[in-house]
C-alpha cells in the first residue's frame, strides 16, 4: 500500500515524482534537439559574402560613373547653342573644351566639398561607437 504524505513538502515532492513519471514530452509535441551541435555544424557550412559585396560595390561605382558621364553629355547637349556661339565668336575648340571642363570641375569640387564634412562626421561617429 502507498504511503500518504503528511506534510505539504512531502505531498509536493510525491506529486512532482508522479507527474514526471507519467509525463511524456513526445505526447505533448515536445522534443529535445542538440541545438549547440546544430549551430556549430551550420557555422562550418557558412557562405562568404565578401565576393558578393565586392562585386556589388564595383557595380555601384561603375553605375555612378556611367550616370555621371550621361549627365555630363546631357549638359553638353543642352549647351550646344552656347558652344556654337563661342565657336562663332572665334574661340578655338580647345578653348571651348577647357571652358566646359572648367565648369564640370567646379561642380565636382563643390560636390566633393559639400560631401566631405558629412562623410568625416559619419566616419567619426561610426568608429567611436
In a domain, 101, yes or no: yes
CB 87 within 8 Å of CB 93: yes
Asked if residue 98 belongs to a domain, the reply is yes
In this predicted model, what pLDDT tens digit does every residue of 27-63 receive, in sequence order?
888 888 899 999 888 888 777 888 899 999 999 999 9
- Cell numbers for 78: 543642352
Q: How many structural domains are present in the chain?
A: 1
Cα–Cα distance, 101 to 107 (Å, whole number): 10
Residue with cell 566633393: 112
| Least confident range of 63-72, 82-91, 113-122 | 113-122
What is d(CA 129, CA 126) in angstroms, rounded to the nearest whole number?
Answer: 5
In a domain, 59, yes or no: yes
Determine the Cα–Cα distance for residues 68 and 46; give it in Å rounded to an integer: 38
Range of the domain at 70: 50-128
Q: Is residue 9 domain-resident?
A: no
Pair 87, 96: CB distance under 8 Å: yes
Rounded distance between C-alpha atoms, residue 34 and residue 91, angstroms: 81
* Confidence at 121, pLDDT banded by 50, 70, 90: low
This prediction has a pTM of 0.45
Note whether residue 13 is domain-resident. no
pLDDT above 60 (res 127): no
Amino acid at each position: 500500500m502507498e504511503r500518504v504524505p503528511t506534510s505539504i513538502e512531502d505531498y509536493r515532492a510525491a506529486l512532482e515524482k508522479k507527474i514526471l513519471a507519467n509525463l511524456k514530452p513526445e505526447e505533448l509535441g515536445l522534443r529535445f534537439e542538440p541545438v549547440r551541435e546544430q549551430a556549430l555544424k551550420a557555422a562550418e557550412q557558412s557562405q562568404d559574402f565578401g565576393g558578393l559585396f565586392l562585386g556589388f560595390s564595383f557595380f555601384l561605382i561603375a553605375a555612378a560613373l556611367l550616370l555621371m558621364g550621361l549627365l555630363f553629355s546631357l549638359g553638353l547637349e543642352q549647351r550646344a547653342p552656347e558652344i556654337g556661339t563661342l565657336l562663332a565668336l572665334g574661340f578655338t575648340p580647345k578653348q571651348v573644351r577647357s571652358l566646359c571642363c572648367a565648369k564640370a570641375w567646379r561642380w565636382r569640387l563643390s560636390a566633393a566639398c559639400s560631401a566631405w564634412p558629412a562623410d568625416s562626421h559619419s566616419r567619426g561617429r561610426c568608429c567611436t561607437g
